[in-house]
Homo-oligomer: A and B are copies of this chain.
Amino acid sequence: MSIPGQLDPSPRLLLGPGPSDAHPRVLAAMATPLLGHLDPQFLAIMGETQDMLRRVFRTKNTLTFPVSGTGMAGMETCVVNLIEPGDRMVVCINGVFGQRMTDVAQRAGAAVTTIERPMGEVFDLNQVRDVLSKVRPKVLGIVHAETSTGAWQPIEGLGALCHEWDTLLLLDTVTSLGGVPVAIDEWGVDAVYSGTQKCLSCPPGLAPVSFSPRAVEAINRRKAKVQSWYLDMGMVQRYWGEERFYHHTAPISMIYALREALRLVLEEGLETRWARHQCNHRALKAGLSALGVGLATVEDHQLPQLNALRIPAGADDAKTRKHLLDEFGIEIGGALGDWKRKVWRVGLMGHNSRPNVVLLFLAALEQALLVQGVKQTPGAGVAAANRAYVA
């Protein structure tokens, strides 16, 4: 049998819902020779990574570190450590990731109550207050940035509301961290997870998490063992904490990469980074509007880093995406659920949120629509985006 050839992927510009392109400095860090997972130098690197994660999450939580798995492992880590069989949990569903959290919670033995909003919309405090008062759950789970719809959930006030009912607030920031403001302590979030492959511009493979002192207390009060050995915070924190007690071999190269990605975030500054994401989003939106393409997410709650584009009449979902991939190496995402074939998901995440990307994407989309005979004013998208940048 033959052996496959050398790795040689075509160049890509990853503008789907994630992964986004890793920053070149992050890719270079991945190739760094290994240290042992208990080497004093590696322990220092772990500590630096934790410190930087705290700054990016805006938290003082001691129990802050990256789980050795992708974003969904982060979700599962939070749920299985907070939930014991029979515990009540409320999950807010306005897209795919709320649905998944329900499934994960039920597998952990939670009695789950769901509240729902249509795709592309967000929850308001009254709806949450209502369910908290009726159910009095141990945990309320909600998604900050719904990757399936581009909806941007406001979180201000939610922590205080949960704590009135003695409920822990669990927040999904997979697509938000590093792209829009996240303020774990200010918001009173008790458990949060994220991913590396979205606005942190790092390859997929780690799930940063953080637990508040209130959440740690709840974990310490557990009667049942956490059902997952691999994700058991009681044990994992002994490795990431001062003891440095061996639990499992850390994914060393991925931690090198995350450390470099966090350095890039802090070098830029969080506020500057958030403003950059807004600026490029506005230019993209202006350009799309000029091409006759609107957003499917409710106005005022559109994430700058993940844009849900209504596919215009006359354009075919798959044909357009294939044209962009084949002619330009540009990947954008299709949609899930009810939005399938009606919506494209276009990410401008982290390193990819920049004018070069916005202008190229608008120009390429114009061509993809042109070959399908979709009516438009030639050059209008790029022109409108440029006006937005120069304004």
Chain A interface (Cβ < 8 Å from any Cβ of B): 1, 3-4, 7, 9-12, 14, 16, 18-19, 21-22, 27-37, 39, 41-42, 45, 48, 51-52, 55, 68-73, 76, 100, 103-104, 106-108, 195, 197, 203-205, 225-230, 247-254, 256-257, 259-260, 263, 266-267, 325, 331
Identify the interface centre among A51, A205, A230, A250: most chain B CB within 10 Å of its CB: A230
Q: Which of B37, B51, B205, B252 contacts A251 (CB 8 A)?
A: B205
B228 with A228: CB separation less than 8 A: yes
A42 and B7 alpha carbons, distance in the complex (Å): 10
Which residues of the other chain, B, contact A253 by a CB distance below 8 angstroms?
A: 22, 27, 30, 203, 205, 253-254, 257
A39 with B12: CB separation less than 8 A: yes
A256 and B251 alpha carbons, distance in the complex (Å): 15
Which residues of the other chain, B, contact A195 by a CB distance below 8 angstroms?
A: 249
Which residues of the other chain, B, contact A204 by a CB distance below 8 angstroms?
A: 37, 249-252
A107 with B19: CB separation less than 8 A: no
Which residues of the other chain, B, contact A45 by a CB distance below 8 angstroms?
A: 7, 9
B48 with A33: CB separation less than 8 A: no
A252 with B16: CB separation less than 8 A: no
A11 and B55 alpha carbons, distance in the complex (Å): 30
A228 with B76: CB separation less than 8 A: yes
- Give, as a whole number of angstroms, the nearest-CB distance from A244 to chain B: 13
Q: Which 6 pairs between the two chains have the least Cβ-Cβ distance?
A: A205-B251, A31-B31, A30-B30, A203-B253, A4-B48, A72-B248
Chain B residue at minimal CB-CB distance from A267: B3
B14 with A230: CB separation less than 8 A: no
Which residues of the other chain, B, contact A259 by a CB distance below 8 angstroms?
A: 4, 7
B266 with A3: CB separation less than 8 A: yes
